């Protein structure tokens, strides 16, 4: 257990130091290879174009998996998100992008960010052309909107959409492994979609091992830290449900549930709280349905956690839509 906690700490520190790296200039990072345009948004006769036909509007962000740009196709004015990973990038980043490519190729759901095209240049540069989610992530909405931005009603709607996405992924044997507010994207049509499959896993057999120490640490379920708590019937998909519960709690409370508002995480304390403490719960004054929903997600015993399809039938999710 201590060894696993230590390894998780080392990994998180590596990850944090990576995130502090200088963001590359846009000009340094533009891919210079032909892009195959998506048939859904471009005219039928145009199947190939070059990157010169796209204008980079801005850098949307940089994650472990590469740099994401907002790009506009000059002729049609269609807007896309383009995630680029260069051939010379860190091998871990490249592994992540290959994993993401494999999953995006397999998925087609209104609750998962749509991938229009994947390009691979002979020199190894890779770019993924995705639908652009113009309202950003739930994390950015929370930070820009202040504490308590999300009402129960809007959270029920968000939960339903994320659960539809998770239900789809789990039915296709895909575990996301990094569900958190920053990886749930929103657009102005109020669509909510799961993104960032850099650490996801495709399960080949029911009892496949599921590497614990990937994903964002603070949202990991207790059994992903402590392998000893898993039994032969361990359901690897249930880790995503724990992360969903924490995500919903955070969106309601306005801060990460295991920590008081504004407090910086001390990773050892946090891991001990996740593994040995009681699961966090909602404050007074919320509905019974919401409280019960969170309890169904945040069961420390993974076998007691509800599945995505069960949660879709929970009274919290079944209340009338807006
Ligand atoms: N399709 C998209 N539409 C709009 N913004 C996007 C899209 N995909 C990613 N982004 C934004 O680009 C940024 C980088 O995303 P990316 O998925 O590469 O990494 P991340 O989730 O920030 O980090 P990590 O991969 O380390 O978890 C994020 O801020 C994300 O909100």
Question: What is the per-residue DSSP string for 34-83?
Answer: -EEPPTTTS-TT--EE-GGGEEEEEEEEEETTEEEEEEEETTT--EEEEE
| Ligand 1 pocket check for 245: Cβ under 6 Å | no
What is the pLDDT at residue 235? 81
What is the pLDDT at residue 110? 97
What is the pLDDT at residue 57? 95
Within the chain, strands assigned E span 35-36, 48-49, 54-63, 66-73, 79-85, 115-120, 126-131, 136-137, 174-175, 184-186, 192-194, 201-202
Strand-pair partners of 56: 71
What is the pLDDT at residue 206? 53
What is the pLDDT at residue 135? 94
What pLDDT, in 10s, does the model give residues 117-134? 887 777 777 888 999 999
| Ligand 1 pocket check for 80: Cβ under 6 Å | no
Judge whether 301 counts as a catalytic residue.
no
What is the pLDDT at residue 128? 87
What is the pLDDT at residue 251? 94
CA of 26 to the centre of ligand 1 (A): 16
What is the pLDDT at residue 90? 76
| Ligand 1 pocket check for 257: Cβ under 6 Å | no
What is the pLDDT at residue 42? 35
Q: Which of 106, 108, 100, 89 is nearest to 199 (CA)?
A: 100
What is the pLDDT at residue 122? 73
Report the alpha-carbon distance of residue 320 to residue 141 in Å, rounded: 23
pLDDT per 10-residue tile (average), the chain, 322 residues: 49 41 35 42 45 84 82 94 81 79 89 88 80 94 71 95 97 93 95 90 63 72 76 80 96 87 78 89 93 97 95 93 68
Q: What is the ipTM of this complex?
A: 0.95
Q: What phi and psi values does residue 21 have, to the nearest 5 degrees?
A: -65, 150
What is the pLDDT at residue 34? 43
What is the pLDDT at residue 273? 87
| Ligand 1 pocket check for 12: Cβ under 6 Å | no
Report the alpha-carbon distance of residue 154 to residue 14 in Å, rounded: 36
**Residues 6+ away with beta carbon under 8 Å from 181:** 137, 138, 139, 142, 247, 250, 251
pTM attached to this predicted model = 0.82
Atom of ligand 1 nearest to the CA of 15: 26
Report the alpha-carbon distance of residue 181 to residue 196 in Å, rounded: 11
What is the pLDDT at residue 243? 96
CB 238 within 8 A of CB 305: yes
Class in CATH terms, 42-131: alpha beta
CATH 1.10.510.10 in the chain is located at 138-311
Report the alpha-carbon distance of residue 195 to residue 200 in Å, rounded: 10
What is the pLDDT at residue 65? 61
The residue with tokens 């209340």 is: 319
Residue 321: DSSP 8-state: P
Spot the catalytic one: 157, 178, 196, 240. 178
What is the pLDDT at residue 145? 60
Q: What is the CATH number that goes with domain 138-311?
A: 1.10.510.10
Report the alpha-carbon distance of residue 83 to residue 114 in Å, rounded: 13
CATH 3.30.200.20 in the chain is located at 42-131
CA distances from 280 to 129, 223, 249, 299, 314 (A): 38, 16, 8, 10, 20
């Amino acid at each position: 257990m201590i060894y696993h906690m230590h390894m998780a700490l080392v990994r998180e520190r590596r990850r944090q130091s990576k995130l502090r790296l200088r963001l590359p200039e846009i000009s340094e990072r533009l891919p210079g290879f032909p892009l195959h345009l998506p048939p859904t948004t471009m005219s039928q006769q145009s199947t190939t174009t070059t990157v010169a036909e796209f204008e980079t509007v801005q850098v949307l962000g940089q994650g472990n998996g590469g740099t994401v740009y907002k790009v506009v196709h000059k002729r049609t004015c269609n807007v896309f998100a383009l995630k680029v990973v260069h051939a010379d990038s860190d091998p871990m980043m490249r592994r992540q992008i290959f994993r993401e490519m494999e999953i995006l190729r397999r998925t087609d759901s209104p609750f998962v960010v749509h991938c229009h095209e994947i390009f691979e240049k002979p020199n190894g540069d890779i770019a993924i052309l995705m639908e652009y989610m113009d309202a950003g992530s739930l994390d950015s909405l929370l930070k820009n909107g202040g504490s308590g931005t999300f009402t129960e009603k809007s959270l029920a709607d968000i939960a339903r959409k994320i659960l539809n996405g998770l239900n789809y992924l789990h039915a296709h044997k895909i575990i996301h492994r990094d569900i958190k507010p920053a990886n749930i994207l929103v657009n102005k049509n109020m669509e909510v979609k799961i993104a960032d499959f850099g650490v996801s896993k495709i399960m080949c057999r029911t009892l496949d091992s599921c590497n614990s120490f990937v994903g964002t640490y603070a949202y990991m379920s207790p059994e992903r830290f402590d392998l000893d708590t898993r039994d032969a019937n361990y359901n690897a998909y249930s880790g995503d449900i724990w992360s969903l519960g924490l995500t919903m709690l955070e969106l309601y409370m306005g801060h990460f549930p295991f920590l008081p508002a504004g407090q910086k995480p001390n990773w050892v304390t946090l891991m001990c709280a996740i593994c040995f403490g009681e699961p966090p719960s909602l404050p007074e004054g919320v509905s019974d349905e919401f409280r019960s929903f969170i309890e169904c997600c945040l069961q420390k015993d993974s076998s007691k956690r509800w599945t995505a399809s069960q949660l879709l039938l929970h009274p919290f999710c079944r209340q009338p839509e807006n």
